[in-house]
Structure 1
Amino acid sequence: MISWMQKHKKYLVVTIWISTIAFVAAGMIGWGQYNFSLAGGSVAKVGRISISQEELAREHKQLLDIYSQSIPNFKDLSEKEIKALGLEQNALNVLINQALLKNFALDLGLGVSDSEIVAEIQKSELFQRDGHFDEGLYKKLLQENNFRPSTFEDNVKNTLLLKKIASLFPQALTPLEQEAFMLPLSLQDRVRIEVLEPKEIPLKEESLKTYYNAHKQDYKKPTSYTLASLQVSAKDNPKESDLKSYFNKHKEQYTLQGKPQEFSKVEKQVRQDYNSDKAKEQALKDYLALKKGQLKAESETFTTLPYGEDINKKIESMRVGEVLKPLPYKEGWVVLKLVEKNASALESFVEARAKIAQILQTEAQIRELKKEALQKLPTFKGSDIGLLNLDFKGNIHDLGEKPSKALVDYIFKHPYKEGFALLEGPRAVLYKVYAQDFKHPVKNTTYLKQMAQNLKAQALDGALIAMLKQRYKITLYARSRP
C-alpha cells in the first residue's frame, strides 16, 4: 500500500486510489458479503463506525508489505523483532483516524454514490484493455488475488469519501505563508571568525591511573580463541589407474551438454577431485580421532581469526571443546577444535594508557579552549570570511569541509550575534555576525513549496483529528493478538 500519509505526510486522507489498486497485488480474503462489523468481532468502535478484525488484519498486512519493500533485510527479522516495530498498533491508529473522518462525513452529510465508485474503478488502467474498462478483466484480477469485489469497491468508496473531506480544507499556500516559509532560507550572515588551536596539556600519571581504575571495564582485549588445528593438504601424485577408476565411478559428474566426456579430456579435473576427496577422507579420520581424544594437535591463540569469513563465523559460535567437521581451506581441508575462548580479559594499565591519555588530553584541551574563548570573545576582531548561508559548502580557514559546515550550522542555530563553537580536533572558533540580509537566492523552490504545503496540510490534519477525538467516543475491544 502507498498511503497519502507516506507520500505526502498527510493523515487526513489516509488511503488513496493508488493504494486501493495496490491491494489487488497483495492477495486478500475470500468472496462473499462484507461489512465493517463481522461476526468474528470488532476490535474497536469509533462513534458510529465499527472497525472489524478483518480490517485490522488487512491494514496490518499492508504495513508489513510496505516495510518489507522499503527496509533492507526486513524479511530476515524475527517475529519478535517485527512485533517490536508496533505495526499492528500503527495499523489500528490508521483505521481509527479513518473512522473519525467517516463519522465527520456522516455529520456533514457527505456521501459517495455508486456511479462515483464505478467511474473511479473504470479510470484505472489496471482494469482496461485497449484504453477501455474491461469488466471481465476486473473480476478476473480480483478473483486471482482472492479479493472480494464488495470489499474492493467499499475501499474505493472510503477513499473517495476521505478525499471529499480533504477538499473542504485549504491546500494551497497563501503568499504570506509561502514567504514566511522561504524567508529563513534566504537569510545570509556576514561573519568574522578567529580559530583557537589546542595546546598540549601536561597530564599527571596519577590522573591516568585514577581514570583507568574507574573505567577499566571499558578496556577489554579482543576476544581470543585458542584453537587446535589439523590441516590436510591434497596430494598430487595419484596413480593413473586410480584416477581412471575414480573417473569410472563418477562419470555422471563429467558431462558436457549432457554427453559423457572422455577421460583424457577431463583428466585434470578428475585429478583435482580425486585429490580433494582423498584429503577429505583423511580429514574425516582426523576429525573423529581429535574428537575422541585419540589425536593431539598443536594449539595457537588468535585475536584475529585467519581462516576467512565463513570459517571465522563458525569459530565465533563454537563452544569450548567443540570440534568442527572438516572445512575446505586453502588447497585442502582443516579440522578445528576450540580449546579456549576468552572474551573478558581486560587490558592492563600499560596497554590502555595511550587511549586513556588521548581521552584526558582532549578533555583538558576542551576546558582550556573554553576558558581562552571566553576571555577573548569580548575584544576579538577576527577576520572576515564573507557571507554564510544554510546552503554553505566549502572549507573555512582550512578547518576542513565537515568542521566548516558544523560551524555554519552552529551559527545559524544559535540566536546570538557572537559566540564560540567547539569543533572536532578539538578547536574553538570565535565568531561575530556583523551584518545580515535576506538576499540569498533560494534553490529548489518547487520542492520547497510542496514541502510547505505538506507541512500545512499535516498541521491542519493533526488539528482536525485531535478535534474529532474529542467529539467521537473511541472504544477498544479485545485485540487480534496478545
Structure 2
Amino acid sequence: MLDWMQKHKKYLIVTIWVATISFVATGGFTSFSFAGMNTDIGKVGDIKLSSERFQMEYNNLYRQYSEQSGGKFDEEQAKKMKLEEQVIQSMVQEAKLINLANDFGVIVTDEELANTITGIELFKKEGKFSKEIYDTYLKNMRIPTKLFENTMKEQIKINKLLALLQVGATTKEVENLKVPFQIGDRFKYQILSENDINGTINEADVQKFWETKKNQFKTQKEYTFDIVWTMPSSIMPSEEDMKKHYQENSFKYNINGKSLSFEDAKAKIINELQLELSKKEAYLAYKALRDGKVMSVEKKTYTQDDKNVTADIWNIVKTKKAGEVIKPEIMDGKYASIKISSIKEPRVKTFDEAKNEVISLYKKDYATTALSKLAEEKLKNIQNSTLESVNFVTFDNIEKQNLSLNSQEKSIFFTKLFTSTQEKGIIPLDSKVIVYSVLEQKLLPFDNNKTSMLKTDVDKFKSQSFGSNLIKQLDTLYEVKMN
C-alpha cells in the first residue's frame, strides 16, 4: 500500500515521517500566503487542515524538487507545477486516511510516539537520544514542538492503518505467474534493415510526397514587439528591508539544493527590491506606450515561445492581438512594457524552404514501405529458408541472446514475440524489421530461487489495485471543505 502511494504522487503525496526529518535536517521555513495566520485552510471529515502544517509541507516538497533538480527549481517552476495544489491534495488524502484510521479505532500511544522520535538518528548523540539536540533543532528550524509531534503521530497512525490493509499473494497466484516464465520458444529469424533495400530517391518523387503533406511544413508564428525598458532603481534598500525580504523568500535562494545565507543571497535580494522600487516608473512607461506618447522603443522580433522571452510573458501575449500593450513584466533583469507591433501567422513553406525536412521524412517513409514489402516476401518463403535460429528463449535469458540487437530492441522484439499468437510473422522495430518463424515451444523448469521475487511482484500488483480502489472509496466517505 505504501509503495503504491509513493509511486502515485499524482494522486497522493503522503509525507512520511522520514521526509519530515529530512526537512528538519536541510532546514528552512518559507513565508507563505497562509503564514502567520493561526487558522485552518480546510476540513476533511473530522480532520482540520492547518495553515501551519500546510507551510511545513510546502517547504518540504519544494526542497525535495529543488534537490532533485540540482538546485534549479524556483518559484516560477513551483507555480507551473501547481505546488500549492499538490500540497493541499496531499494533506486532503492524508486526512482521509486519518479519518479512516479513527473510524477503525487505530490509536497511537505516547510510548509509540516517544519510541519513534527517540529512534531517529538525527536526534542522537553517542548512540543515545538527546533531548537537547531535539529541542535545538526544532527551535532553529522554527517548527513548533506540538506541530512536529502531531505530524509524527499522524504518520504512525497511517502506517498502522496501512499495515492492517496489506493484501498478500496466495500460493495459487504465484504458481500461475510462474508459467509465462517457463515457456521457451525455439525459432528462426532474419533481421532486415535499410541496407537490404535496393532503390534510389529522386527529387521528383520527393516533391510529389511534399504535395501530399505540405501542410505539415509550416513556418513558426512570429511576433514583432515594441519594447520600452525600465531599469531597476539605483536606490539601495535598507538592511532591514533586505533581511525581511530574505526571510519571506528564503526558499528561493539556493544552489544545488543548499540554502544560501543572507550574505550569499544579498546581490539577488538587492536586485529584486530595486526592481520593486522601479515598478511605479515601469507603469508610467507602460501608460505612455499605451497612449502613443513614447518617442523611442526597441523593436524586436521573436518566434512564438522563444526562450529569450519568459513563459509568463508568452502566456499573456498569446491572449492578445496586434496593437495591444502588455503591462510591465520582468525580462532580462528589468521591466519590459511591450506593444505587439505585428503578428505573422504560420504559412506553408515552399518546397525549397522545406526541402531538407521533406527529404528526411520521405527517406523514412520510403524505407518503412520498402522494408514492409521485403519482409512480406521473406515471410512467404520462410519455411524453406535457411536462417539463423535460437534455442528456447524465455523471459529470463533474453539478455543472453545474441541477435545483433541493442537492449531496447531486444526488449521490444521479445515482448511482441511472447505475446503473439502467430506461429510466424513480422515484428517492426524503429529502423529494422524482423521476420520470424517459431519452430518449437515447451515448458522449461522454473528457478525456484525466484519464487520470492514473483511473490513480491504479485504483492505490489494487488497493493496497487487495492490502493487505487481505496482512494476512490475514501473520496465518497469524507467530505472536503476548503476555506
Look up the match of 1:80: 76
List per-residue Cα deviations over 1:127-182 (Å, max 9, x = no partner): 23333332222212221221211111111110111122112123543323334455
Q: Quick one: which amino acid aligns to residue 464 of structure 1?
A: L
- The structure number with the bigger radius of gyration is 1
SS of 1:111's equivalent in the other structure is: coil
8 Å CA contact 1:44, 1:50 repeated in 2? yes
CA distance in 1, matches of 2:125, 2:105: 37
Find the partner of 2:197 among 183, 196, 199.
Answer: 199
CA distance in 1, matches of 2:403, 2:136: 68
Look up the match of 1:63: 61
Deviation at 1:64, TM superposition (A): 1.4
CA distance in 2, matches of 1:116, 1:56: 25
Deviation at 1:101, TM superposition (A): 1.2
Look up the match of 1:462: 468
Find the partner of 1:136 among 132, 146, 150.
Answer: 132
CA distance in 2, matches of 1:88, 1:444: 43
Query: How many corresponding residue pairs?
Result: 345
C-alpha change, 1:397 and 1:460, in structure 2 (3 Å) is closer
CA distance in 2, matches of 1:368, 1:82: 48
List per-residue Cα deviations over 1:66-113 (Å, max 9, x = no partner): 1122234xx334533332223322222221111111111222222222
C-alpha change, 1:429 and 1:403, in structure 2 (3 Å) is farther
SS of 2:471's equivalent in the other structure is: helix
C-alpha change, 1:183 and 1:148, in structure 2 (3 Å) is farther
8 Å CA contact 2:66, 2:72 repeated in 1? no
SS of 2:185's equivalent in the other structure is: strand
CA distance in 1, matches of 2:129, 2:217: 68
8 Å CA contact 1:192, 1:385 repeated in 2? yes
8 Å CA contact 2:58, 2:87 repeated in 1? yes
Q: Could you tell me the TM-score, scaled by structure 2's length?
A: 0.59
Deviation at 1:350, TM superposition (A): 7.4
CA distance in 2, matches of 1:194, 1:138: 67
C-alpha change, 1:375 and 1:182, in structure 2 (3 Å) is same
Q: Quick one: which amino acid aligns to residue 169 of structure 2?
A: L
8 Å CA contact 2:426, 2:433 repeated in 1? no
Q: Which moves more between the two structures, 82-91 or 153-162?
A: 82-91
List per-residue Cα deviations over 1:34-67 (Å, max 9, x = no partner): xx9x964433321111212222222222111111
CA distance in 2, matches of 1:100, 1:195: 55
C-alpha change, 1:16 and 1:171, in structure 2 (3 Å) is farther
C-alpha change, 1:438 and 1:48, in structure 2 (3 Å) is farther
SS of 1:158's equivalent in the other structure is: helix
2:92 maps to 1:90: no
Q: Quick one: which amino acid aligns to residue 455 of structure 1?
A: F
C-alpha change, 1:100 and 1:357, in structure 2 (3 Å) is closer
Deviation at 1:422, TM superposition (A): 2.0
SS of 1:18's equivalent in the other structure is: helix
8 Å CA contact 2:97, 2:158 repeated in 1? yes
Look up the match of 1:150: 146
Find the partner of 2:366 among 364, 367, 379.
Answer: 364
Find the partner of 1:429 among 424, 430, 435.
Answer: 435
List per-residue Cα deviations over 1:435-476 (Å, max 9, x = no partner): 142546488766665454333323222222211111111223
2:384 maps to 1:388: no
C-alpha change, 1:85 and 1:209, in structure 2 (3 Å) is same
8 Å CA contact 1:29, 1:148 repeated in 2? no
C-alpha change, 1:380 and 1:440, in structure 2 (3 Å) is farther
CA distance in 1, matches of 2:104, 2:407: 57
Q: Quick one: which amino acid aligns to residue 69 of structure 1?
A: E
C-alpha change, 1:39 and 1:365, in structure 2 (3 Å) is closer
Unaligned runs of 5+ in 2: 220-307, 309-345
CA distance in 2, matches of 1:100, 1:194: 56
Look up the match of 2:273: none
C-alpha change, 1:86 and 1:193, in structure 2 (3 Å) is same
CA distance in 1, matches of 2:24, 2:409: 50
Look up the match of 2:316: none
8 Å CA contact 1:172, 1:453 repeated in 2? yes
Look up the match of 1:208: 206
CA distance in 1, matches of 2:130, 2:27: 20
C-alpha change, 1:46 and 1:402, in structure 2 (3 Å) is closer
Deviation at 1:365, TM superposition (A): 3.8
Find the partner of 2:478 among 455, 472, 482.
Answer: 472
List per-residue Cα deviations over 1:388-410 (Å, max 9, x = no partner): 23352367565666645542233
Q: Could you tell me the TM-score, scaled by structure 1's length?
A: 0.60
SS of 1:188's equivalent in the other structure is: strand
CA distance in 1, matches of 2:91, 2:53: 8
Q: Quick one: which amino acid aligns to residue 156 of structure 2?
A: L
C-alpha change, 1:451 and 1:58, in structure 2 (3 Å) is farther
Look up the match of 2:100: 104
Deviation at 1:121, TM superposition (A): 1.7
Q: Quick one: which amino acid aligns to residue 64 of structure 2?
A: I
CA distance in 1, matches of 2:430, 2:28: 54
Look up the match of 2:14: 14
CA distance in 1, matches of 2:181, 2:52: 47
Deviation at 1:25, TM superposition (A): 1.9
Unaligned runs of 5+ in 1: 31-35, 221-313, 315-343, 478-482
2:155 maps to 1:162: no
List per-residue Cα deviations over 1:173-226 (Å, max 9, x = no partner): 332333445543444322222445643235554332234465498599xxxxxx
2:51 maps to 1:53: yes
CA distance in 1, matches of 2:179, 2:12: 28
Deviation at 1:426, TM superposition (A): 4.3
C-alpha change, 1:433 and 1:150, in structure 2 (3 Å) is farther
